[in-house]
Every structure is written in structure tokens, then in C-alpha cells.
Structure 1
Amino acid sequence: MAPNPTPPAEPQDSPDAYVGLDSGAAERRARERGWSTVRSLPPGAIITMEYRAGRLNFEVRDGRVTRAWKG
């Protein structure tokens, strides 16, 4: 049997620090801080709920991050 893969490490970064930022600046900052995937979504978007280590999600309204969460 193959060993379980080790998930990538997540940056020690608080998603709350991105709320209120311009979406472009928030995405750049997240990538600089080591997030492997950054996903920007409109409010109420239908998304899959699987957890992905290393992914940061942004809900964006009028060009600003209104919510941010891991996975």
C-alpha cells in the first residue's frame, strides 16, 4: 500500500488580515506569503467545499475582500 501523501504546509498567516484590501493587492500579498492557490469569488458563489491545504479563498465585492478563509 502506498503511503499517504504529506499535504503542503500552510503559511502562518491570518485570513482576517486580508479583509478590506483591494482584491489585486490581497492576491499578491497572499502569494508572497506562500499561499500556493488563491481563489477570488463573488458573493454567494457556488463552490465545492473540499479542503485544500495551501489555498486561500477571498469573497470579493466591488473590488474589495469582504471575507477570507483557508481551504
Structure 2
Amino acid sequence: MLKIIYDIRHFFEKHGFYVSSRLADRLGMRAKNVRLFFIYVSFATLGVGFALYLTFAFWLKLKDFVYTKRTSVFDL
């Protein structure tokens, strides 16, 4: 059973993850470290995008409070 798992892993590392392996060989690193780097970067960029979304939502809500359309001078 363990050999089957290793064979499947080897197949995907050789064919499916060839980009990471080739980049790791070129940089002189382990392929595992390159894959982990891509995973961490994807989580970090997702967090940055979510933070920007919340910032823009807050800014637009604040803008709506400040720049409300007033029909008269007495609406203050």
C-alpha cells in the first residue's frame, strides 16, 4: 500500500509538478521549498486583497456619509 502512494507521488512530482522541480533545480533548492513558497505567497496575496477590499468598502461608506446630497440648506 505504501509503495502505491509513493508511486503516485513520484508520478505527480515528475509530471504534475515539473514547473516547481525545474525552477528548484535552476535555483539550487529543494522542490518542496519552492512549492511551499508558492502556497504561502498565494495565502498572503489573498489576505492583502481582502484587506484592500475592506479598506475600500470603509472608504466608500465614509464618503457616502460626508458627501450626501442635500436638497436644502436647512437639511444640515
- What TM-score comes out, normalization by structure 1 length? 0.23
Q: Whose radius of gyration is greater, 1 or 2?
A: 2
1 or 2, which has the higher strand percentage?
1
1 or 2, which has the higher helix percentage?
2
- What TM-score comes out, normalization by structure 2 length? 0.21
The answer to which structure, 1 or 2, has the higher relative contact order (CA under 8 A, 6+ apart) is 1
